[in-house]
Amino acid sequence: MAGKAFAGFASTGFSFDKFVAKDLRTYAAGTPAEMRTRFRDVITSTHTPPGPKYVALGEVMVHGEDIRRSHGTKGDHPADHLVTLAELYKKTGAPLRGKRRIAGLKLTATDVDWTSGDGPEVRGPCMSLILAMVGRAAALDDCAGDGVDTLRSRA
């Protein structure tokens, strides 16, 4: 973890949820114009989150979808990005907890060539499966199968 991120994480007693909440308060402070300026600065930033390189891909795709879907639209992601992120997220522990959420379930993407696991099936667009892996239960509205209710209960 990079120095600044580690210091911020330590300042919250190593609580990921508190760390994120504190960061969000900082970025949401001020006038709309000030927030836009900070957002524009982030867009051109070359800094990446601490951790493995796929974390940056997940940040862009998952949080981008959080924003898009809150406005009633969805992103168009390259198949190789979707498959890469799904493969990586299915193995994650804390704080994402993808591995625990999908345990005992079969996930099948309906828009790209990706399937994982065994058990009751959850079928849907790969991005919706990825979002569900990391706790976005609303993404399961795009999905079908005997495992949907189980995965929704784990979000």
Q: Is residue 145 part of a domain?
A: yes
- Count of the separate structural domains present in the chain: 2
Cβ atoms of residues 154 and 122 within 8 Å:
no
Q: Is residue 57 part of a domain?
A: no
pLDDT digits (tens, 9 = 90+) for 29-52: 888 888 888 778 877 777 776 677
The span from the CA of 53 to the CA of 119, in Å, is: 30
Question: Which tokens in the block code for residue 151?
Answer: 């995965």
Q: Is residue 87 part of a domain?
A: yes
Q: Is residue 35 part of a domain?
A: yes
Q: Is residue 63 part of a domain?
A: no
Q: Is the pTM of this model over 0.85?
A: no
How high is the pLDDT of residue 1? 47
Q: Is residue 71 part of a domain?
A: no
As to burial, measured by CB atoms within 10 angstroms (0-12 exposed, 13-18 middle, 19+ buried), residue 34 is exposed
Q: In angstroms, how far is CA 32 from the centroid of its own chain?
A: 25
- Are 43 and 83 in a shared domain? no
> 89 is in which domain, residue-wise?
79-153
